[in-house]
Structure 1
Amino acid sequence: MADPEGKPEELVGEPTSEENPTSEEPSSQGDDSAQPAILASQLMRDPQMLAALQDKLGSMVGHNSGYIQSLPKSVKRRIKALKKIQFEATTIEAEFYREVHRLECEYATKYAPLFEKRSLVVTGTHEPNDEEADWPSDDEKDEDLAKDKKELASGDNKDEVEKKASIEDKKEEAEDKDDENTKGIPGFWLTIFKNVDMLSEMIQPNDEAILNHLQDIKVEFTEKEPMGFTLQFLFEPNEYFENKKLTKEYVMRSEPEEGDPFSFEGPEIIKCVGCKIDWKKGKNVTVKTVKKKQKHKASGTTRTIQKTVQSDSFFNFFNPPTAPEDEEMDEDTEALLAADFEIGHFIRERIVPRAVLYFTGEAMENEDDYEDGEEEEGGEEGEYDEDADPDFSPGKEKPAECKQQ
């Protein structure tokens, strides 16, 4: 007898797939081949895991996923043609950066008179006239505003206002007398170094008195191959060393490497050379003397010896580690050189051209404007949040996503 659906009578009432281990639903018991199906089923029920897997697979395309190797020979041949085009573009890019360096060398001669005048003002050799010093000051604006408020607050009490004005005039006269004894801008470069984190970390207490004698920093560009630049630190006569000028030369390369041409991203510093500092007796802050006890193995007697070791100092900047030419650098040397290159580039690119702004701190304020801010509520950057959109209403099309130009 068959059931209404035409099934044989003996099949009616048979266990369901949940009860029947031989049903089509994969089972984890006794059948290893069923495991992938179970995992796939679980994955499909977990959207977050699925999305993470999709991102991972997407990032593998073109790398070690085997996708490129699986392409037909004709496609691989076309990719090789694209790489050759890319190499030609990289070669032009290297030429562009060399031309930029040539322009830097040309314009350095135009900046030079301005930086020379800056040095004369800093050292007190030149006193700016009224026209040269005609620049708005935030302090002056605040003072004028404070005076206006005082006058408004005093009302008709003119005697009190005049009395206060007289006191302020006397104070200004005293300040003027102090100004007569102040030469140039004291501690100009030391203040700049202490304002910049990467430089202030290098400065030790013993360095500060020496850096107070620093009068100017200049950049001398090298146009001929190998291209590069030299930092010149000019000092007034002092009791620490004989040098009037300390130098640090940086050698740069602006061409793709033979073994890895597509890693080229512009000129890079590949070498730096310091200079010898002729320290006066007992004034070398880059070394220190330490006492060490030694014990004789046979007799057991001890003796104390003095040993000279390197000391932390800004002036170690002029004695950088030497990069080996024929052998691979160790990690410590590589890290030290990378930090040195970054400092040299920053002094050349930022400190020297904008010295007064680093002295006043305005340059750091501008840099702080571009620090990473807090995440806004309502989703990650690039996502559209309809709840945060006052113009959103159901049924209307969402605004197109903004794309960076």
Structure 2
Amino acid sequence: MSNNGASDEKRAKLAEEGELSPVATEDDALYQAALEEIDDCQSQIDSLNEQASEEILAVEVRFNTLRKPHYSKRAEIIAKVPRFWITTFMNHPQLSLTIPEEQQHCLQDLQNLLIEEFEDIKNGYKIILKFNPNNPYFENESLIKEYRLEGNGQPKSVVTPIKWKPGKNFLADNADRGSRKRKASDSSFFSWFTDSNHSSLDEIADILKDEIWPNPLQFFMMPEALSEEGDDDGDVEDEEDEEDEEGDVEGDAEGESNYDTD
């Protein structure tokens, strides 16, 4: 009995010092075998996930090719609608916050927005902004911002240098007007475009690529849709007001009738 007590005390002391597994010694083999089986199952799951990702990318590449003629046709039709892109941008609740008044004037000459994904879409894409060649702000007809992965897997941005016309570089003008103007300019649409560093401003790229490009019409039409919803609400309120007025009239008539009877 005393030997068993000493043995138990020794095992407890070793467990406290970390020399024994928290699992009982006789179960160590079963414990290790279970962990290895779990790891083997997880490896098979990970392999299937990688295979699924590759097949999904292949499908996306195929459908990108199928979409191209439709995008081209859409661009031709959009060109017939005045101020389509600036209206679309200003109707987006987040993007509109990055476009101060002076940049709104510049974006009125934006004729087309294009998103071109690389043949291997994992490696990046281009955002292409096509402007009226006679726009008063810069000489470029197209401004291109490219996002791509380098060979080492690091992201990189490449931007078209803007060839500003004399006195039209509003980014430089704002930077010279004090800290408040400079802060607003640093978070603006064109500041994002000219910035080649990955930062929080890249949210603008995500909005253009993932929200506006797939269906710009939904944002172009947004105020009209909201207006129609407002009109419907107004109709309901008008009907309620009419019902209240009718109830008041009936109540007055009933009151007069009771008064005459008395």
Same fold per TM (> 0.5)?
Answer: yes
The superposition leaves residues 218-275 of structure 1 with CA deviations (integer Å, 9 ceiling, x where unpaired) of 121113385222111111111111211112222369xxx9xxxxxxxxxxx9444333
Distance, in Å, in 1 between the alignment partners of 2:40 and 2:160 is 43
Change (3 A) 1:95 1:113: same
Is residue 290 from structure 1 mapped to residue 160 from structure 2 by the alignment? no
SS at the partner of 1:240? coil
Structure 1 gap ranges (5+): 1-68, 125-184, 258-268, 293-308, 324-335, 366-405
Structure 1-normalised TM-score? 0.42
Structure 2-normalised TM-score? 0.62
Is residue 240 from structure 1 mapped to residue 137 from structure 2 by the alignment? yes
2:190 is matched with which residue?
315
SS at the partner of 2:162? coil
Is residue 357 from structure 1 mapped to residue 218 from structure 2 by the alignment? yes
Change (3 A) 1:205 1:222: same
Distance, in Å, in 2 between the alignment partners of 1:355 and 1:216 is 11
**Shift, 1:362, TM fit:** 8.3
Q: Percent identity?
A: 27
On the 8 A contact 1:105/1:222 being kept in 2, the answer is no
**Shift, 1:202, TM fit:** 0.8
The superposition leaves residues 5-64 of structure 1 with CA deviations (integer Å, 9 ceiling, x where unpaired) of xxxxxxxxxxxxxxxxxxxxxxxxxxxxxxxxxxxxxxxxxxxxxxxxxxxxxxxxxxxx
Q: Which has the larger radius of gyration?
A: 1
Distance, in Å, in 1 between the alignment partners of 2:70 and 2:167 is 38
Distance, in Å, in 1 between the alignment partners of 2:46 and 2:101 is 47
Is residue 110 from structure 1 mapped to residue 66 from structure 2 by the alignment? yes
Change (3 A) 1:76 1:286: farther
Structure 2 gap ranges (5+): 1-20, 227-262
RMSD (Å) for aligned C-alpha atoms: 3.3
1:188 is matched with which residue?
84
User: RCO greater where, 1 or 2, for CA within 8 Å and sep 6 or more?
Assistant: 2
1:86 is matched with which residue?
42
The residue identity in structure 1 corresponding to 2:112 is D
On the 8 A contact 1:240/1:279 being kept in 2, the answer is yes
Distance, in Å, in 2 between the alignment partners of 1:197 and 1:91 is 40
2:162 is matched with which residue?
277
The superposition leaves residues 270-328 of structure 1 with CA deviations (integer Å, 9 ceiling, x where unpaired) of 44433321211211122225379xxxxxxxxxxxxxxxx673431112233535xxxxx
2:146 is matched with which residue?
249
Q: Which structure dedicates a bigger proportion of its chain to helix?
A: 2
Provide the aligned length of Structure 1 versus Structure 2.
194
The superposition leaves residues 355-384 of structure 1 with CA deviations (integer Å, 9 ceiling, x where unpaired) of 11111018997xxxxxxxxxxxxxxxxxxx
Distance, in Å, in 1 between the alignment partners of 2:155 and 2:89 is 25
SS at the partner of 2:116? strand
